Amino acid sequence: MANTEENTGSGPTLSLSDFLPYRLSVLSNTISSSIAARYQSAFGLTIWQWRVMAVLGETPGLTASQVAARTAMDKVAVSRAVAGLEDVGRLQRVRDESDGRAARLNLTPEGQAVYSQIVPIALASERDLLAGLSADERGALGELLVKLAGAASPDTPLW
């Protein structure tokens, strides 16, 4: 996909608009920002905070390291998001009884209420995004994403 034609003696060039990693990154950021705009003002959440809430809403009781692994977020970003959510009462840390060094993360009742309000917004955004694709195209997209994920992370499933 990427154009790597020889430049005037300086080696291969890279056309970012054709370079798959760049295109996927820009697309992902654009989609995330678009969805985030729908809930940031109403709920005061950053993209990173919503990602943490989304993971914990689906799988409560994870550690921050587990959240980082599931989201491919930097541990510092997860830590900041967790601290921010804890500060506003949407998340609580509970010491793991079997490992005193670890803390399990759970949404508080307020956090669960916010999560429950955002999920329909996120699902509607996904429906809007996919509306221009046929059922066959949506299926093919899903299959291609699985193949790309396998190529990018052959030893650890991304989802």
Phi, psi of 134 (to 5 degrees): -75, 170
Can you give the residue ranges of every domain in the chain?
16-149
Q: What is the enclosing helix (H) or strand (E) of 64?
A: helix 64-71
Query: Which pLDDT band, with edges at 50, 70 and 90, does 155 fall under?
Result: very high
Query: Which pLDDT band, with edges at 50, 70 and 90, does 109 fall under?
Result: very high
Query: Which pLDDT band, with edges at 50, 70 and 90, does 7 fall under?
Result: low
Contacts of 59 (CB under 8 A, 6+ apart): 70
Q: What is the mean pLDDT of the chain?
A: 92
| Cβ-based burial of 97 (10 A; exposed 0-12, middle 13-18, buried ≥19) | exposed
- 16-149 has CATH 2.40.160.60 classification: no
Within a 10 A sphere around the Cβ of 114, how many other Cβ atoms?
24
pLDDT for 39? 86
Distance CA(40)–CA(47), nearest Å, equals 8
The answer, yes or no, to whether residue 8 has pLDDT greater than 70, is no
Distance CA(157)–CA(130), nearest Å, equals 24
Distance CA(37)–CA(122), nearest Å, equals 11
